[in-house]
A and B are shown apart, each in its own frame.
Chain A
C-alpha cells in the first residue's frame, strides 16, 4: 500500500540541551509558552517530532526563531547528536535500522551519498579557503568520484545550471555576492544527486530578486530530479511556493501539520492562525 512508501521516517525525535530529566518534555512546549524546563533550566529544542517523507515530496517546516526548525534538520544531517528518537531511511539497511544507531562510517556514507544540506549561512556549507569548483569537487570526492576530468565537467554543469559564471569557478566564494554564494552552496549540495535535500532558511537575508532566483532554482531542481526536500523557513511565501505539506513548530513541538494549502487557508491552531494572519 502507498501508506508505506516513505523515503524517510522519523519518530519521536528529541533534542534537549541541558539536564535530561524523564518528564522534561511534558513541562515544556506551546502549552507553557516556553521550551525551557522550569525545574532544571534545560532547553528542549525538539520534542517528539514524528513525520514521514515520501519520495519526491517537499515538506515545509515553519515556525518562529527558536522553535526548533534548524535543530531538526541538523540532527537529520548528523550535524548534531540527538537526545532520543529514531529515524529510518528507505535505502539504508533496507530501512530497518535506526540511522542514529549507525556507525560513524555509515553516517558519513549517508551524508556523502544520500543527503545534501543547504545552510542559511553559506559559510556553514562552503569552505571559503577553496574555490567554488573546489567546493563542489570536495563533495564529489566524498561521494567517490575521483576522476579529475569528470569532476571538472560535473562542476561546470552544476555551476551552469545554477547560473554561477563558470569563468569564476576557480575563485573563492568569499568574493561572490550572497545570492551567488547560496547558488554555489546549492550546487555543492546536489553534486552527488542526493535523494534527500535539506534546506535551512536558504533565502533569508537575500534581496527579493535574488531570493526569487534561488527559489526558481530549487523548484526547477525539484521538478527535474524529483528530489525529496525538507524546506525550513519562517517565510510562508517560500513555504507556499515550494511545499506540498507543512509542519508548524512552536517551542520545539509540532502544533499543526497538514497540506500546505490547508495550513495557509484553514489553519486550525491558534499559533498558525496568528502566523497566517500576520502575512503581508
Chain B
C-alpha cells in the first residue's frame, strides 16, 4: 500500500504525460501480482466498493473529531478523503500497512452494516498518505488524469509489448488482470477473446500534407463528420465502441440492437439529416449528433428526433473470419456483400469516390466545403487493417481550414514544459465597428499552432502588454492580431459570443495588422453551416 500511495501522490503532482507514463510503468514492473493489477484498476476507476461512500467517511470522522472542526477543515481542503486522511488520529503503534490486495479484499467484504466498525481498523494501519490512497481507492473518483489509454500505454512500456496488443487483450479482462500480466511479464499465451464482444484497436490515418498519390493504388472516400465507432457482435452480445475504446452502447441503443450478424465493423456514427452532402449524403451536422453524445440513457423522443446510423468504412471480422490481414479491396468486397443483409435504417455503405486521377479528386474535394464534409480519406488498396497509424496505408486529406483574424485578449500559463510561458490564448472578434465604440467578444481559445520562436515572442508580448491580472490569467492591451485557423464554427448557447469554434489554432501572428482591422463577429457568424 505504501508504494501505491507514493505512486498516487507522485501522479497528483505530475503534469507531463511522459512523466506520468514513467511513474506508472516503473510501478507496474516493480510491484508483484496481484497488487499491480488492483492498483491499475483503482487508477482507471475500475473498482467499486458500494459500502464506502463519501458520507461514510464524514460519519466516521465526526465520531472522532468535533463536527465544527471537521467542516472547517473539509471546507478548507476541499476533498473529504484528503481531509479525513489528515484528521485521522495517529495510531499509538507504528503502522503495519496492508498490501493493496489485502485492502481490496477487506473493502470488498465490507457491507453498510459493517463498514463503520471495519474501516477504522484498516485506517489505523496506515500513515496520512496511505489513508488518502485507501480512501480514494474505496470511494473511487481518483481524478488524477489517468485515462484508460494512458494506463495501457504505460503497461505496454513497462513490459515492452505493442500497445495495440494490450488494447486488444485488455478488453474483457477483469481486475486484477492476472492473465494479462502473465502474458506481458511472463511470456504466457495471450488471453483468448473469441466469444466476447471485444474492442479491436482502430486503424488510423496520417495527414496527407503535400504528397500526391496514384489513384491506381489508392481508393478515396468522404471523411464524414461524425464520430468513429466500432460495432462488435460476439457471443450473442453487441457493443458500440468509441475511438478511445469506451463502450457507448447505452448512448446508442438502436445501434446495439441493430447488428444481428457476428462481426466487427468500422464506421462513422451519424445522425439522419441532409446537412452533409445534401439529401444524397443523408447525414445531419456534427452539432446535431452532439445532442446525443455523452448520455448514459437516452429518451425515445431523442432517439426519434436524432436517429442514429452508421456509415460503414471497413470490416475487420465477419462471421468468425478475421479479415485484418487481407488487403483493403478484399475487405471492401466482403463489406459490400454484408451491407444488404443489415437493417438499411441503421447501416449504409461509405461510398467510394469516383476519381480517375489525383487531380480529379482535388477538384471533387474542393467542392466539399459547401457540403460540410470534413474532407476525403485515401486508403491504399493493398493495405491490411493494422492498429494505429502506419505510414503509407491511410491518409486523411482534410479540406483547407477556415481563417479569421482575431485579437489577443487574455493569456494563461501552460503546464509542464510550458509552465513558465503564457501559452494559452483567448482571442476575440469585434462586436460591431470598433471606431463606433464596439468591443471585443471572446470567440475561442488556442494553445498550439505556433513555433517555439513564436511562443517566446508571444510570452514576451503578454508580459509587456498586461493591463490586468485575474489569478493566473493576464488580460492584455488587445493590440495583437492572430490569424486563427479552425475546422468549423457552430452556434452555441454556452458562449457569450453565441459561437463555438472547432479545433482552433494559431495560424499566423499578424504583427502587421492593427487590432481595429481584425474581423467582426458577423464575419464568423457567416461561416456557420449548422
Q: Do A and B bind each other?
A: no
A residues with a Cβ closer than 8 A to B are none
